[in-house]
Each structure stands twice: as structure tokens, then as C-alpha cells.
Structure 1
Amino acid sequence: MGLCRYLLLGLLLYIESSVCLGECPCSDPALCEPIKETRDFEVYVFYVRGKNWKNYDWNHVTTVALFAPYDPELMCFAHSKGARFVLKGDVPLNDIVDPDKRSAWISQKVELAKAQYMDGINLDIEQPVLKSSPQYYALTALVKETTEAFHREIPGSQVTFDVAWSPDCIDLRCYNYTGIADLCDFLFVMSYDEQSQIWTECIAGANAPFNQTIAGYKRFIDIGINPKKLVMGVPWYGYDYTCLNITEDNKCTLEKKPFRGAECSDAVGRQVRYSAIMKQVNNSLTGRLWDDFQKAPFYNYKDTKGNIHQVWYDDPKSISLKVEYIKKLSLRGVGMWNADLLDYSDDPIAQQQTADMWKALLS
């Protein structure tokens, strides 16, 4: 990084961290104290927009990761429910290979968390890393030093790290998984976008197929990661694929879109939120169908140009099947990307659909 760019980064971080709230913004000053209790079962929530958070299932939420502008009202409310409220941590790895720059980044994040009365940080890096590269070691050091700093400066704080659905270099993320798991509080496993590299024939399939998802957790455990360091992430969205051809048995052939060595990828599809899927599925060509091998629902519809589309998604049934394995594998908990993809309106049907998705996390 050039000196000018580094100084600019430092200035931006300073401005960000200087959003000091002064006095506690909560009606009860005790709500500005960090959450120190650790519950046996994690329900990890990513918040990205709006005021939907008022309708979350707060009886079970343990952590809310802030992937949106800071909202002091949400912080106060989360703390009133005994839930942690944590920062998003994302930084280009080339920027933190230098130990001094890494230390500066961590210090700024700690100060920002303090200023906003927050309870930790979720490290969402998701960048390709080759084994034994400078970035490989810098990433491990980042997790170690971030965890040490937060635990020291904010007692009871939580540091988590997001990983792909398997430790086997998915999308070239060849991280030091065992080291990172040991160094932070736990890993949030993103068990979705599992078709980012399609190595078989180019056909539409489940976002998080059951057998592949469970195999990913077994791989984490096989390489020596404690199951209590793993939180299962499930998708509250699906993929809409345009079919080049569709067979009588619903095999939807896709356009080839290479990604990291694979001929095909889910990038040829379009992500669709669960609330939109629920509005479309009953009026589709097929209605809800079920693939018993992938253990996932899907449906077909025709667009205004006459093209056939196939939509794959997760619903309470497919999520419940995966969540059953949390107990079987003794995992730490469950979470989703993301909590704002449901319909929180006052429509009775939508309310039931939303309640069923929250309930599925605890099956």
C-alpha cells in the first residue's frame, strides 16, 4: 500500500471510530454495559437493513452482527434481550501483512466498538489466500491479535470468523482453519453458495444440498476443529436460474460461467430473498417441488419472454433436516444469512411463514 493510501485509510478509520456517542444512548445506562454471559446454544443473526429487527425472534437470538449503518436503538434493544451486538470486520489482506498496519486496524476497530457500546467483531474476510503465502500468515495473526485485543479491552467480548462450507480451499480460501478456530471464539460456517464451483454437469441445483453441507462439517471436525467452535450458517435466500433447456424430470441446463477453474458456477443465477420466493412459488408452473437427494425445494416458472426458470431455495423443512445435525455433531449453534430476507409485514400468511423459518433454526 502506498503511503498516501495508508494515510487515507487511517483517516477514514479515525473518522469511523470517532463516532463517539458520549453518554449512553439507552434509557437504562446498564444497557451500555457489554454482554458477558455466554449461552450454551448460539443463534447468530446478521442484520443488514431497516427496522425488521424489531420482529426477530429475540427469545433465542444470542448475537447480532451489524452489516448496516450503526443504530443505537438496536444496540440498546439487543442488550435488553441479553444478545451481543458486534461489528463487521473486513480489510484487504494486503493492507495488514505489515504488523504495524495490522495493529492500527485492530486498534481502530476496538475503539469503534467501545464508542458504540458493542460486544466484539465478526471477521468477514472471504478473500482468496494461498497456503504459506504472506497473506496466509497475516490472516492468522489478524485473528490472534484481534481476539487478544477485544478480550482485553472489552471483557466478555466475542470475536468470530466467517468461513466457507468446507475447509478444502473453497474458492481458493486456503486458510489456517485449525489455527484460526483455536484463536477466536468460534467459526461461522457459511453453508450456502455451495455451487460457486460446479464441477459436474452444468445444471441447476440446491444452494446448500444436504449431503454436501453435512460433509463440510465432518471435514472441519476431521482436521481437528472442536465442534463447539462451529456455528452452522443457513441461507434465507435462493437462486433463480434461467434454463437453456429443461427435461421432463426437471433437469435445468445452465449457461456456462467459469469460476476459479470450474466450467460452471451459481454466478449465472440470481439471488432471491425468501420473502420473494414465497410470493412466487404458488403461482409458478409447478408449485413447490422437492428433490429428495439434495433434500431441497425448488420450482419452475416462465418469464414474460417465455424463458423457463428454476428456483432453488431453503425452507423450514430443508433447514430443519440440517439443524438436526447440530445436535448429532455437537455443534455450537446456528445462524443465517440474513435475518432481513423474510417478510415481517402484518400479512397473516407472511407472519406464519416468517415464524416457521425462525422456528426451523431450533428443530
Structure 2
Amino acid sequence: MGRGPRAWARSSGLSLPLLCLWAACGSATSPPVLVSPVPGCPCRDPGLCRPLSGQNQLEVFAFDVGGQDWKHYDWSKLTTIATFGAYDPQLLCHAHANEVRVVLKGAVPIRDIIDQINRTAWVLSKVRLAKSQFMDGINLDLEEAVAYQSAEYFALTQLVKETTEIFHREIPGSQVTFDVAWSPDCIDGRCYDYVEIANSCDFLFVMSYDMQSQIWDDCVAKANAPYYQTLSGVQAYMKLDIDPSKLVLGVPWYGYDYPCTHLFEAGRCALKSVPFRGAPCSDVAGTQIPYKKIMQQVNKSITGRFWDDYQKAPYYIYMVNKTYHEVWYDDPQSISLKALIVKKFNLRGVGMWNANLLDYSKNATAEKQTEEMWTALYPL
């Protein structure tokens, strides 16, 4: 991201109210024009309440679900934070000081925006909120099942177009993004117009995780984000002629803990059949587990860390109340392999769900594990 007047003022020690902007200064002999403080700005430097603009060489997109973990993120790597927790003005100021965008969460039942008047009203309400909180855009996260060419199908496409048009007009340089499943092939019934949506917004965040939401073959525990499945999903988007620069690859910073109805052998944990959206089996049979808890548990498990070379993912087994559990997750090895997909196909960038799932305590082991996860996002 370029170093404009705001960044130069911070590096030089000047505050923006005293900074003479080139366009407003006039001749060298003219008196300087002072920039007025931004009304309602929560930051000490009012320049930090001005929206960021420009495109990064590599997008690193993080979701934040609230709390104070953001104070310990690797700000040297981040470019965008999507706030899915309560609004925190301190987070905004800190992010802008580090040239990192902060964007709203955009979620609305699709049935509520079929009507054009309701749709426009919703978008305008989000623009007003973004302006009042000095944010840099919005991340649209809907994830509902939508039938091909239904009323919802067309309404969703129009929502993305209208959101992008209005945000770009009202907040110059703002960013509008849309979260999509790991593949465009109607995953979980999400039969969207992916081409038009990609054309309309700044980029798609490809949620390359929860890939066992619909298990059609053997009902056994599997990796949350198998490498080749991740790769095939990205390639499927590109086969639709979606420009790779419109794709950000999302990776999981969590895993799934599956209780086994029967453990045949390591890597063959039979699951209770829990149907989901037509599939006879799903990851609903397990529970999500954050990376920080996985790291506390893996070395105390029966097996320690195993590696599945076909799925290119780690897992381990433990027992509680006479029931075997198999935990599949991602770690620096599996994430760095997926991050290389970003480099190979020149994707827009990489991101994760979610940045709060690491251990940000001062424990030396935890600090090393956390640093390795942030580093894994950068392809070699």
C-alpha cells in the first residue's frame, strides 16, 4: 500500500491537523491550509479515521471475532481485518496506523433483500454504519442455500453489485468482498452466480475449509481442508474464467474433534451419520476445536501428531470415557502447502478463519507456535 500524506505524517512525527496537503497548499508563499479534525474520530491522530485505499501486492485477510487478541496479531503481514465481533475503535485506530483496512460484516437473510427497495435500504444502512465507524468497506457473508436462477439467486447477485457501487461511490477506495464456499459447484446448496458476483466486487474470499460439510462416500473422519480438494476448488473458480486476482484463499486455524463410533485403525474413525443438506454424513458429527486447544492436547494424546500424506493434513487420537476421538486440523506444514497455491496461480492473497484461534499468551512455546502459523501464510 502506498505511503500517502497520512503515512508520511506518521513517520515524520507530524500530526495531520498541521499537515499541509499538496492539493490545498497553493504556492510556496501561500499560508498553509490546516486540515480540520475528523468529527467523532476516536483516534488521537484524526488522519487515522480516513479510509485507506490502494491494492496490496499480497492480500492477507483476517477475520476477528472480538476481544483483545488483535493487540498481538502480526501486523506486518495483515492487510485487511473483517470485524465479526463488537466494534472496537481502538482496533480501528491501531489497524489504520499499520495501514491495515478494517471492514464491516455484511449479513442479511436473502429473502429480505429480494425486494429492491429493501435491498437498497439495507446497503445504505451499512454505508452509514461504515462511515460512522470510519471503516474501509464491507465483507458480505451470507452462505445460505440458494437454488439456481431462483428469485434469491438474482437478488443476491444484485445485492453484491449494488453494495459495491454504493460503497465505492460513498467511500472512495473502499473494499467490498464476498465469502464463497471452497468450490463453485453448489456446495451446501449455494448455487450462486459466482462469475457475476466476482465481476461485481473487489474479490472473493474462498472459504477453503469445512470441506466435510457434505460427506457422500465413507462416513469417516477426514481433514477439514484436504490439499487436493482445496486445489480443485480454486481451479474450479478459475475454470469459470474468474481472474485469479479476484480470489483470496481462506485457510482454517481450527480443526474438528470427531468421536468415533468405531476406530478401525488410525485414520479410519467411523462417524455417527448426521445428514446435512442432502448428504448422508457430515462434519456436524464432530465439533470445531481451535488451534490453541489442539496444541495443548496433541502431545498428551495417545498417538501424538500423525501426518496423512494423501490429504496432506495432521491428526491425532485420544480417548475419553472409553470413546476414541480423532482430531483433524491444520498446522504450519499443511497451511504452507496451501499457501503455495496462492503463489502458483497468482491469487490475490490468503486469509484465515479466524485470527483469534491462536494462543497469544506470553508462554514461550505458544509464542513460537503462533509465530509459525502467521509465517505459514506467506508462500515461499
Question: Do both share a fold (TM > 0.5)?
Answer: yes
Q: Distance in 1 between matches of 2:202 and 2:348?
A: 11
- Give the corresponding residue for 1:127: 144
Q: Where in structure 1 do 4 or more consecutive aligned residues deviate above 3 Å?
A: none
Q: How far does the alpha carbon of each residue in 1:3-29 deviate from its partner, in whole angstroms, 9 at most, with x for none?
A: xxxxxxxxxxxxxxxxxx952110000
Measured after TM superposition, the shift of residue 250 of structure 1 is 3.3
TM-score by length of 2: 0.89
Partner SS for 1:247 = strand
Q: Distance in 1 between matches of 2:184 and 2:239?
A: 10
> Which residue, 65, 68, 71 being the options, matches 1:48?
65
- Give the corresponding residue for 2:211: 194
Q: How far does the alpha carbon of each residue in 1:217-243 deviate from its partner, in whole angstroms, 9 at most, with x for none?
A: 000000110000000000000000001
- Give the corresponding residue for 2:241: 224
The structure with the largest alpha-carbon Rg is 2
> Which residue, 352, 360, 363 being the options, matches 2:376?
360
1:322 aligns with 2:345: no
Partner SS for 2:275 = coil
- Give the corresponding residue for 1:268: 285
Q: Distance in 2 between matches of 1:76 and 1:49?
A: 15
Amino acid aligned to 1:327: K
Partner SS for 1:130 = coil
Amino acid aligned to 1:328: K
1:276-315 equivalence runs, <5 A: 276-303=293-320, 305-315=321-331
Q: Distance in 2 between matches of 1:204 and 1:37?
A: 43
> Which residue, 347, 351, 354 being the options, matches 2:363?
347
- What is the count of residue pairs matched by the alignment? 342
Q: How far does the alpha carbon of each residue in 1:120-162 deviate from its partner, in whole angstroms, 9 at most, with x for none?
A: 0000010010111000000000000000000000010000000
Q: Distance in 2 between matches of 1:22 and 1:252?
A: 58
Amino acid aligned to 2:269: C
Q: Distance in 2 between matches of 1:309 and 1:113?
A: 44
> Which residue, 220, 223, 228 being the options, matches 1:211?
228
> Which residue, 335, 339, 350 being the options, matches 1:334?
350
1:89 aligns with 2:89: no
Q: Bigger relative contact order, structure 1 or 2, given CA contacts below 8 A and separation 6+? A: 1
Q: How far does the alpha carbon of each residue in 1:162-198 deviate from its partner, in whole angstroms, 9 at most, with x for none?
A: 0000000000000000000000000000000000000
Partner SS for 1:128 = coil
Q: Which moved more, 1:321-330 or 1:284-293?
A: 321-330
Amino acid aligned to 1:324: L
1:28 aligns with 2:45: yes
Q: Distance in 2 between matches of 1:149 and 1:322?
A: 34
Partner SS for 1:298 = strand
Measured after TM superposition, the shift of residue 249 of structure 1 is 4.3
Unaligned 5+ runs, structure 1: 1-20
Q: Which moved more, 1:282-291 or 1:322-331?
A: 322-331
CA contact (8 A) 2:253 2:358 kept: yes
Amino acid aligned to 2:357: L
1:137 aligns with 2:147: no
TM-score by length of 1: 0.93
1:246 aligns with 2:263: yes
- Give the corresponding residue for 2:91: 74
CA contact (8 A) 2:66 2:83 kept: no
What's the Cα RMSD here? Answer: 0.8
Measured after TM superposition, the shift of residue 37 of structure 1 is 2.4
Amino acid aligned to 1:23: G
1:151 aligns with 2:183: no
Unaligned 5+ runs, structure 2: 1-37
